[in-house]
Amino acid sequence: MEDDDSRPVTTGGTPSGEVPADAARALARETRALRTSLATSAAIGVAALVWGLLAGAQVIVFDGVYMIAGLALTAASMLASRAAWSRPSRRFPFGKHALTPLTVAMQGAALLATLLYGAVEAVGTIVAGGSEAGGATVLVYGVASWVAAIVVGRVLRRMGGGSDLVEVEIVSWRAGAVLSLVVAAGGLVALGLVALDLTTAARYVDPALVLIAVAVVVRDALGLVRAGTHELLEGAPAPDVRAHIDDVVVRVREAHGLPEPTVRATKLGRRLYVEIGFVVERDCWTVDEEDAVRLDLVRGLATLPYEVWESIDLTTRPELAD
């Protein structure tokens, strides 16, 4: 018999296996944002690479390589986005939401590799006696690329709708904007050194800019790796998400006279897993009363901007709630 992995299955939690309409809209917004980032990165990356090679400016070449390297990662984000929103199947009964943090961590690792390449090339240029890059060229490029990075970042922010994958793109464009400011400032410094007849010192401005840019951007790259790994290891969600969960639990607990529960939560992409266990007295709760507690908790958690999978238990055995 042929195994049909696309058939929906019944799993624990709220979802029934079908992708809701709001999820389809979120996927469409996410895809449009990623395509916008992909097309813009391709245009600017190729232009920067050609510009840098013609001008002999290593920092511009580095920026072009940075952009072009991001193309494959953005394409991977688009694939991960579609896969993460696919409905659960027999082979993947909980879906593929882990692809989102995995892609985030991979983008951070790839960015770190690009930064390492840039640093090694810059050190090699310094050892070789610097470069002949003109300060005016570097300044003009820095200003132009800064404007482009700011505009694209803001457009993506409006389009993203809270998507983790789009947020990764925004981080990359923000890092690009910072890099562009460093490049522009370096161009001004190079022009000043030439004006003061310090041409030997001016030769080292270009590779020095690359090293400064690496130092500035490396924090964002490490942050992506850390964030993706945190989710893959099922770490606690962000403080604001945990605060919302705690607030809902307190309100429901007080409304129904329940004791302090055991609460666990973790976020995986757009899915939020929440486990809540109450230890109650024997023979005090009917099934209908238990369902009323569950419904109140589900309604309270439904306001979070995630696909929430709840596991809510009332038991008389403390060991079953741990």
Reported for 166-171, long-range contacts at CB under 8 A and 24+ positions apart, including other chains, are 166/30, 166/33, 166/34, 166/37, 168/77, 168/103, 168/104, 168/107, 168/224, 169/33, 169/34, 169/37, 169/74, 169/77, 171/220, 171/223, 171/224
pLDDT of residue 161: 60
Contact 12, 309 (CB under 8 A): yes
Contact 34, 107 (CB under 8 A): no
Which carries the bigger pLDDT value, residue 231 or residue 182?
A: 231
Class of domain 21-232: mainly alpha
Q: Which residues make up the CATH 1.20.1510 domain(s) of the chain?
A: 21-232
**pLDDT classification of 21: cutoffs 50, 70, 90:** low
Neighbours of 300 (CB within 10 A): 17
pLDDT of residue 5: 47
**pLDDT classification of 203: cutoffs 50, 70, 90:** confident
pLDDT surpasses 90 at 252 = yes
pLDDT surpasses 70 at 13 = no
Q: Which residues make up the CATH 3.30.70.1350 domain(s) of the chain?
A: 239-321
Query: 239-321 maps to which CATH number?
Result: 3.30.70.1350
Contact 60, 138 (CB under 8 A): yes
pLDDT of residue 4: 44
